[in-house]
Amino acid sequence: MCPKCHVSARKWQRSVEIFEYRIKPLKSKVTFDFRCKNQNADEILNFLKVLESCFKIQLRSVSVDLNNDASLVIDIPDALCERDMVKFTVHTKTTLSSFQKPDFSVPRQHEDFIWLHDTLVETEEYAGLIIPPAPPKPDFESPREKMHKLGEGEASMTKEEYAKMKQELEAEYLAVFKKTVQVHEVFLQRLSSHPVLSKDRNFQIFLEYDQDLSVRRKNAKEMFGGFFKNMVKSADEVLISGIKEVDDFFEQEKTFLLDYFSKIKDSTAKAEKMTRSHKNIADDYIHISATLNAICAEDSTANKKSLEKLSDLFEKLRKVEGRVASDQELKLTELLRYYMRDIQAAKDLLYRRARALANYENSNKALDKARLKSRDIPQAEEHQQQCLQKFDRLSESAKKELTSFKGRRVMAFKKNLVEMAELEIKHAKVSLTAHPIKHTV
Amino acid sequence: MASSSERSPPPFPESEDPEVLEAAVPDRDSDEDEADDPFLSASNTPLTRKDTPAAPASPDDSLVTSSQSEHRSASRSSEDFMDVLNISAKAALEDPADDFVDILRGGASAQRGEDDAPAEGGAADPPAAFTAPVMELRDGWSASSTQKPLVSEKIPDPLVELLGAVPAEPADIFTEEDDTMSDTRKHSVKNNGVHSAENTDIIAEATVELSLDSPRNERKKKPTPTPSLPAAASLTKPECSALEEVEEEEEDRCDISVSVTDPEKIGDGMTAYMAYKVSTETLLPMFRNKTFTVRRRFSDFLGLYEKLSDKHGPSGLIVPPPPEKSILGMTKVKVGKEDSSSADFQERRRGALERYLQRVVNHPLLLQDPDVREFLEKDELPRAVSTQALSGAGFLKMLNRATDAVSKMTIKMNESDVWFEEKLQEVESADQQFRKLHTMAESLVVHRKELSLNTAGFAKSAAMLGSAEDNTALSRALSQLAEVEDKIEQLHQDQAANDTFGFSELIADYIRLLGAVRGTFDQRMKAWQRWQDAQAMLQKKRETEAKLLWANKPDKLQLAKEEITEWEAKVTQYERDFERVSATVRKEVLRFQKEKTKNFKRQIMVYLESLLQSQQQMIKYWEAFLPEAKAIA
């Protein structure tokens, strides 16, 4: 991590704050920020530019179709990035009587979110629900690495070029940060909007307990345990896949989800690649524009003007290309990524149901055995009944969950695709106007 | 010679002008100060010398003027010509006619022309005899080139009249002369316009031959000690006429266009090579046809460059460089891999060759080069062997280049001209910047290709996702999205091609050209070095002379003195060479900059156009997609 990173990390934090409280007077906030840091005009200007570009990044890109229940509103107004750790401030506003206060904020870390997710998954009662996927771990490695590389290559670039590259990277860094905050927020919001999960005790503790939750990071053993559990689960999945499905709905749903998951995974990877290519092109434009600038600084002939124009154009195209990249990232890649995880959660639900089915079948067999031996029949009967009940319950809620999930997914896709198409058109139009030779179609 | 005249196109006035002038001028000058010209005094023919000095001057001048204009000055010059004839006729009392005809024949029958003429006979007549047909040719040329045959027909008439009207006692001579002259005229006119190969008019031929050889002759002559070489005349006159040519050429700019198409692999294995179709379209009358096509292999292009740079490089011309030999790219083609990279390579090379040829023919002086025309017109070319990278000649070339590089480093030139210093610096920094830009452009191409590939990948993946989707509308929208992305992929691919050929290759071209510009600076430096060396030598000789004087050795002193005169002559010669090269380089660099500006702007416009179009396409695609997305329910 470069020594500057810490400072900029604070900057990010500030910017997030400003961004989130949009109603707050922006100016006073910013002046405050810079008065503290006593930065020079150049950096302020740069920072403002980054800020500006960030404002254009729309935060709530992943639509999860939450019911607008005002009884419990959660957001993350602030987050602080320190080294690898991100501290989120989770802010809750509620009318529910189960909370002590109507309005409160608590500091939480990424690990706390994971803990919450894990406890929810492990809760038996929620086996029939799609547990919202846990937010992915904040990953600042790639922009940080790029920043590092940029620092190394500083000598080979002009000052202006370097500044632009840095600006671009800062914007990227900020975008990653925002995305991180956003997925954490979405996770909580999905919980809060869920009729059952919002009543969860652990969830409420997570929201309310104003001390550090002091969730340990998983130690090696637990990590291994988790890994082992996953192994067992996959093996189990293979085992119980042989069991004959009793319900056509689930049979279909299962094949669909399996198929869909592999496809969406592929699409996500491809979309990511595509987005990265756009970014690369934007970077190339920076270099080209800078070099052209250097050339026309030395050129005294009539070429100067056209070179200047060309350089200008590349600069504009750079912005457009960067915008295209970030919008595609937000509207397409993020959507796909989020639903990839959501489908994984749905698959888990199916697994739990299949497990319950297997349990029921086993209990049936046990009952048969007991009857054969005419021993422990009532216990076996009871167990069988329990299994059946559990399975029925699971099936019922799963059916509901999956149906609602489907509707949610379609709506989210619609919203994002429309937005993306609109943005693409907008960007293409912007780049059209950037051209020195204007054409009417 | 007859065969060469059959093939070789009609005279090309532009280039022949300065040459003929130069050829004529020394003669005149040597007349003026014949006393100290040992060469002339040896073949002393006293008959005409007194009268002539004034006479040849006027046709000379009229020649220069007539090169710019048409009918009026032409008729005036014919009057002048008549005067000359008149005077010379009167002056040549004894047997002028024989001499005259002899000279004409003499000049006509061989390339000896200018060399022989003064030696053979009337030193005064050659200028007249030479300039006359040349002038005729020029008139015929300008007439036919401006597509006004009337003018050329008018010219002979007054001349015939005038000639016929000369009331002199040697009337028979003049009628004879008249015949030959009018013949000459007709033929030359014909030659220019129609290119009659069979009609071998000696005089016209002689001029053709002369002009073809004159660059060589000129150079041959230069090193030989001719102390009376007219400094002012030979330096200024060709230059100003060259300037006129440049202007003239600019008007004719679009009169010739060359295209290179149809790359084709010929042969198999490692002996395979690429051949290209070179099609020329021209309105210039110096070519036999308006359009013609030849097949040339890559090494022919290189061979042409070698010839041109050998011929014109030392005099400071910017000879447009062809694309480099690429062993890697060619091997791929040879092996027969039909992948996209080899197609890309071929297309790049084809474009580069086309631009290279276009540049050559756009250069007013290079267009006149017989090799260029041969390259464009002749069906079969002798194979250029020296261009092979791994041949002995190639090795020699490499050696030469190495020595050049070493000498370049060792020569320390104290630059007297700030302009050159500035320009050199400019060129060098531009070279550096353009190189950087080229790397960037190449990386842009690579990334764009990557983007196109990735877009294609996503399109496929989106189509699969669409087929897996169970919501009908969403499934439809996703497959639509896949289609849109597919189209966009094509756009990106096209754009990548545009980046390559419209932008990256353009820059590569300029890098090559900048190299050529630097080459001319080096040539100038070499000329300077030669001059300095000669000066040092002269200094040495003078010292020896002083020593000998002191030692009182008269026998050797004479030799030393001779040597000194010899070296003095060389020094002036080299100095003049240097000045000439400097002037040419200056002119060429200015021309290069002008061309660059124009070309660059045009090419960039084309490139931008392509960018614009792809963006417009993009809008259309997305706009078509939007309702589909909105239809998801």
Averaged pLDDT, B524-547: 87
Identify the pLDDT of residue B454: 92
Report the range out of A327-341, B53-67, B69-83, B387-401 with the highest average pLDDT.
Answer: A327-341
Rounded CA gap, B605 and B506, in Å?
12
Q: Are B612 and A437 within 8 A, CB to CB? A: yes
Q: Are A302 and B436 within 8 A, CB to CB? A: no
Which of B15, B69, B57, B517 minimizes the C-alpha distance to B242? B15
Rounded CA gap, B250 and B359, in Å?
13
B436 contacts in chain A (CB < 8 Å): 291
Does residue A391 contact residue A360 with C-beta atoms inside 8 Å? yes
* Nearest-by-CA chain B residue for A300: B426
Rounded CA gap, B322 and B301, in Å?
7
* A215: confidence class by pLDDT, cuts 50, 70, 90: low
Does residue B297 contact residue B274 with C-beta atoms inside 8 Å? yes
Least confident of B83-87, B206-210, B458-462, B596-600: B206-210
* B388: confidence class by pLDDT, cuts 50, 70, 90: low
Q: Are A298 and B609 within 8 A, CB to CB? A: no
Identify the pLDDT of residue B3: 40
pLDDT at residue B143 above 60? no
Rounded CA gap, A321 and A331, in Å?
15
On the 0-12 / 13-18 / 19+ scale of CB atoms within 10 A, B563 is middle
Averaged pLDDT, B271-295: 79
Identify the pLDDT of residue B482: 92
Main-chain dihedrals φ then ψ at residue B260, nearest 5 degrees: -115, 120
Distances (CA, A) of B378 to A244, B211, B295: 84, 20, 10
Identify the pLDDT of residue A28: 28
Main-chain dihedrals φ then ψ at residue A74, nearest 5 degrees: -120, 135
Quick: pLDDT tens for A124-174: 888 888 888 888 887 777 777 877 787 777 777 777 778 888 888 877 777
Least confident of A343-357, B261-275, B298-312: B261-275
Identify the pLDDT of residue A42: 54
Q: What are the strands, taking DSSP E only, across B203-301?
A: 256-266, 273-282, 291-297
Rounded CA gap, B596 and B590, in Å?
10
Q: Are A267 and B465 within 8 A, CB to CB? A: yes
pLDDT at residue B336 above 70? no
For residue A109, the distance in angstroms to the closest alpha carbon of chain B comes to 35
Torsion over CA: B416, B422, B428, B429 (sign): positive
Least confident of A293-302, A322-331, B178-187, B561-570: B178-187
Main-chain dihedrals φ then ψ at residue A308, nearest 5 degrees: -60, -45
Torsion angle, alpha carbons of B615, B617, B623, B625, to 10:
-120
pLDDT at residue B76 above 60? no
**Position with higher pLDDT, B340 vs B377:** B377
Averaged pLDDT, B138-149: 41
Quick: pLDDT tens for B180-208: 444 444 444 444 433 433 443 434 333 33
Does residue A336 contact residue A439 with C-beta atoms inside 8 Å? no
Identify the pLDDT of residue A171: 79
* Amino acid (1-letter code) at residue B495: Q
**Position with higher pLDDT, A211 vs B150:** A211
Torsion angle, alpha carbons of A208, A209, A211, A213, to 10:
-110
Identify the pLDDT of residue B392: 54
Averaged pLDDT, B296-300: 82
Q: Are B457 and A406 within 8 A, CB to CB? A: no
Quick: pLDDT tens for B554-565: 777 888 888 888
Does residue A289 contact residue A314 with C-beta atoms inside 8 Å? yes
Q: Which two tokens stand for residue B155?
A: 């010219």
B602 contacts in chain A (CB < 8 Å): none
* B172: confidence class by pLDDT, cuts 50, 70, 90: very low
Does residue B13 contact residue B142 with C-beta atoms inside 8 Å? yes
pLDDT more than 70, % of chain B: 52
Quick: pLDDT tens for A387-420: 888 888 888 888 888 888 888 888 888 888 898 8
pLDDT at residue B278 above 60? yes
The chain-wide mean pLDDT, for chain B, equals 65
pLDDT more than 70, % of chain A: 76
**Position with higher pLDDT, A127 vs A3:** A127
Q: Which two tokens stand for residue A194?
A: 């869920």
- Chain centroid offset of residue B416 CA: 28
Does residue A95 contact residue A71 with C-beta atoms inside 8 Å? yes
Interface probe, candidates B451, B452, B594, chain A, greatest A C-beta count within 10 A: B451
Quick: pLDDT tens for A228-272: 777 777 777 776 766 676 778 888 888 888 898 999 999 999 999
Identify the pLDDT of residue B391: 52
Rounded CA gap, B194 and B181, in Å?
19
Interface of A with B in 237-256 (CB under 8 A): 256
Does residue A101 contact residue A188 with C-beta atoms inside 8 Å? no
Report the range out of A179-183, A293-297, A384-388, B10-14 with the highest average pLDDT.
Answer: A384-388
Quick: pLDDT tens for B201-258: 434 333 333 333 333 333 333 333 333 333 333 333 343 444 444 444 444 445 778 8
Q: Are B468 and A429 within 8 A, CB to CB? A: no
Least confident of A359-363, B118-122, B609-613: B118-122
Averaged pLDDT, B292-306: 82
Burial code of B123-135, b = ≥16 C-beta within 10 A, e = fewer?
Answer: bbbbbbbbbbbbb
Quick: pLDDT tens for A89-119: 888 888 877 788 888 888 888 888 888 888 8
* A223: confidence class by pLDDT, cuts 50, 70, 90: low
**Position with higher pLDDT, B100 vs A224:** A224
Partner residue opposite A437 with nearest CB, options B426, B474, B605: B605
Identify the pLDDT of residue B42: 40
Least confident of A162-176, B117-131, B467-481, B534-548: B117-131
Does residue B285 contact residue B10 with C-beta atoms inside 8 Å? yes
pLDDT at residue B7 above 70? no
Identify the pLDDT of residue B152: 40
* A219: confidence class by pLDDT, cuts 50, 70, 90: low
Torsion over CA: B570, B575, B579, B582 (sign): positive
A276 contacts in chain B (CB < 8 Å): 454
Q: Which two tokens stand for residue A49?
A: 């530019």
Rounded CA gap, B320 and B308, in Å?
9
Burial code of B268-280, b = ≥16 C-beta within 10 A, e = fewer?
Answer: eeeeebbbbebbb
For residue B579, the distance in angstroms to the closest alpha carbon of chain A comes to 26
B619 contacts in chain A (CB < 8 Å): 425, 428-429, 432
Rounded CA gap, B282 and B284, in Å?
5
Quick: pLDDT tens for A5-34: 344 444 444 433 333 323 222 332 332 233
Residue with tokens 């600006």: A167
pLDDT at residue B135 above 50? no
Burial code of A421-434, b = ≥16 C-beta within 10 A, e = fewer?
Answer: bbbbbbbbbbbbeb
Does residue B454 contact residue A273 with C-beta atoms inside 8 Å? yes
Tell how strand B256-266 and strand B273-282 pair up.
antiparallel
Q: Are A284 and B471 within 8 A, CB to CB? A: no
Q: Are A435 and B616 within 8 A, CB to CB? A: no
pLDDT at residue A206 above 70? yes
Rounded CA gap, A149 and A153, in Å?
6
Question: Is A386 an interface residue toward B (CB < 8 Å)?
Answer: no
Question: Is A437 an interface residue toward B (CB < 8 Å)?
Answer: yes
Cβ neighbours for B589, distance < 8 A, ≥ 6 positions apart: B318, B423, B427, B517, B520
The chain-wide mean pLDDT, for chain A, equals 75
pLDDT at residue B74 above 80? no
pLDDT more than 90, % of chain B: 5
Identify the pLDDT of residue A305: 77
Rounded CA gap, B313 and A313, in Å?
39
Partner residue opposite B597 with nearest CB, options A256, A301, A435: A301
Report the range out of B97-101, B338-342, B438-442, B546-550 with the highest average pLDDT.
Answer: B438-442
* Amino acid (1-letter code) at residue B375: F
pLDDT at residue B494 above 50? yes
**Position with higher pLDDT, A175 vs B130:** A175
